[in-house]
Amino acid sequence: MTAAVLTIAIVLAGFSLVFLVLFPLGRGAIYVPSTPEKALLLAELSGAARGERAADLGSGDGRVAIALARQGAEAHGFEVNPILVLLARRNIRRAALQDRAFIHWKSFWRADLSGFDVLTIFQGSFVMRRLEAKLRKELAPGARVVSDFWGFPTLTPEKMAGTVFFYRMGSARTGSARTGSGERGS
């Protein structure tokens, strides 16, 4: 009996290590769920509203996408971990938001983000330079980006709330969203 329990524990630990830590490496951050309060703060700071499209990059269990949808936005999450995609879709059904929140089993690196008004992210420092370049190319001027904990290397946030950075692409502070020039206003 003890050997069976130990075997199950080892298998579960291995499964967790592979799908929650090793699987996302190189694609983005490992899964660290936002607190419910932080998910609400990200959504509120983003200003996502009815008629807008919002995306959470690396959406995990879907709690930020749900918060964005509750504000009225059409919310999309991009997640590479199939277990987390299933969990997020279940959470969306439980919140009765299937008509406004959608989780895609897809890397945000391969997604065209040009149709989004708002992005929320919680990635690692090793991703931010490359992600900034992608956002400068794809997002329209005025698009809003809210990043938890990690700032972009050359963009200046318009405002901050604790560890959350708010950016508006193409503003005087961030430079042009389409040129990728890295210019910054004063």
Query: What does the chain look like in DSSP terms, one character per residue?
Result: -HHHHHHHHHHHHHHHIIIIIITTTTTS----PPPHHHHHHHHHHHT--TT-EEEEES-TTSHHHHHHHHTT-EEEEEES-HHHHHHHHHHHHHTT-TTTEEEEES-GGGS--TT-SEEEE---HHHHHHHHHHHHHHSPTT-EEEEESPPPSSPPPSEEETTEEEEETTSTTT--TTT-------
Instruction: Return all residues near 73 (Cβ < 8 A) that are at least 6 apart.
Output: 48, 49, 50, 51, 52, 53, 54, 100, 117, 118
Structure tokens at 157: 């946030």
Weakly modelled stretches of the chain, pLDDT under 50: 17, 21-26, 176-186
pLDDT value of position 20 = 52
Question: pTM value?
Answer: 0.80
Per-residue confidence (pLDDT) for residue 180, from 0 to 100: 34
Q: What is the pLDDT of residue 3?
A: 73
pLDDT (0 to 100) of residue 183: 33
Provide CATH code, domain 2-168.
Answer: 3.40.50.150
Q: Is 37 exposed, middle or buried (0-12, 13-18, 19+ CB in 10 A)?
A: exposed
Give the start-to-end residue ranges of the domains of the chain: 2-168
80-95 exposure pattern, b = at least 16 Cβ within 10 A, e = fewer: bbebbbebbbebbeeb
Q: What is the DSSP string of 92-140?
A: HHHTT-TTTEEEEES-GGGS--TT-SEEEE---HHHHHHHHHHHHHHSP
